Amino acid sequence: MSRPTLSVLIDTYNHERYIEQAIVSVLEQDFPASDMEIVVVDDGSADRTPEIVRKFAPRVRLLRKKNGGQASAFNAAIPELHGEIVALLDGDDWFANGKLTAALTALEQDSNSSAVGHAYYEFHEATQEKRLRAPTKAKFLHLATPEAAREARLGWPFLLMGALTVRRKILERVIPIPEALVFCGDAPIIMSAMAGGTRVLAQPLSYYRHHSDNLQAVDHKNAIKMRRRSEMAETMFRVLEPLLIRLGVPSESIVELLYPGWTAESRLRLRAYGGSRLDTFHTEMRAFRLELKNSSLRYRMFKYLLVGPAGLLLPPRRFYQARDWYAQRNLSRFRELLCKRVGMP
């Protein structure tokens, strides 16, 4: 068999209600079957998902593995792919018509692009509502400068599973993906794509489904899932920072790309669930680094002499209660007074 130009990788777990639509959306693309392989990696489903996938054999190849999460599924499947280009899809989402041709055309026309993302539709299963999520215009995302990284952070949502097609080298830079990333295992792939340069198309070419079992769209009343999501976000950011360093991304670009979201997620987690004092300290120092370029000497000394030590002395929930109390009463004027007393200009 000749080497396929394109591999479509579908990762799935307990998607018996959705997996057929995902596969059919690939089979119905206007793309030559001889140039494409379709691989479904099943992460230990306990429902009828494997049985449904097998109906499409031999056109669709099924890889089964013990349940371990999305990253472990990628680690098992990526070495089995044959294409030089890989399109990614979750088993509960689906492609729009023309998606694969548009993505490959964009890659063929721009040799500087390592990947292609695009606009998409959110489909809300409970209401049957479809919402367009699109950039204002087509973009090229990269991480060479802090300004570019800031733009890439805004473009991150258009590189989710179903919207991301990558050259094989992007995957080879990140595997094995840390298997602690149970349901955001695509994040290292996205980082690698942005570091290599990614074209984002303005046309919507996939559908992202919101449903009751979607781990990224959990019910805010479900405390267990909300905590799990929060802890997974922290794990994701901890994995991404050293990865970006290894990929040669400048440190200031890493700050602009990761620290705003990381700081916000960490503060929410520490407020809601607590943690260690060292977690608080690191969170506030990340926030300080974001603010550093626009801050006065007085503000810097306030952070170093008061906020940092307070984060190490107070339990996280107590620290953020005090921080909220301080902000609500607009007590920043006392910061100026304190700095004057210790002789800070």
pLDDT band at 341 (very low <50, low <70, confident <90, very high): very low
CATH class of the region 6-210:
alpha beta
Residues of the chain with pLDDT > 90, as a percent, come to: 73
pTM: 0.89
Q: Mean pLDDT of all residues in the chain?
A: 89
Residues of the chain with pLDDT > 70, as a percent, come to: 86
Torsion angle (degrees, nearest 10) of CA 172, 106, 73, 245: 40
Q: What is the CA radius of gyration of the chain?
A: 23
CATH 3.90.550.10 in the chain, residue ranges: 6-210
pLDDT score recorded for residue 325: 75
